[in-house]
Amino acid sequence: MIKHYRKKPVVVETIEWDGKKSTFEKIKKWNKNTTVNNDILYIPTLEGIMKAQLTDIIIKGVKGEIYPCRQDIFHETYEEV
């Protein structure tokens, strides 16, 4: 039997990665092991190290986990509250 499901509405915190030191410091408060090299963020996650390019959206999930998302996919998936 095929079932259909809809994602539950969840509010998340986000920061757009702009390459600025002040933005990096905010993201680093979410995950102290995040590093940056040549404007690319390296974010440790449960799935391994994820890279974030400039303009990617950094999402802080409901359990405090952080991960990057391309801006176009983010705007298709989320709406501002």
pLDDT at position 38 is 96
Euclidean distance between CA atoms 11 and 62, whole angstroms: 8
* pLDDT computed for residue 81 by the predictor: 86
Domain boundaries, the chain: 13-77
Instruction: Give me the tens of pLDDT residue by residue for the chain, a chain 81 residues long.
Output: 999 998 888 889 999 999 999 999 999 999 999 999 999 999 999 899 999 999 999 999 988 999 999 999 999 999 888
How confident is the model at residue 6, as a pLDDT? 84
Instruction: Provide the CA 81 distance to its chain's centre, in angstroms.
Output: 17
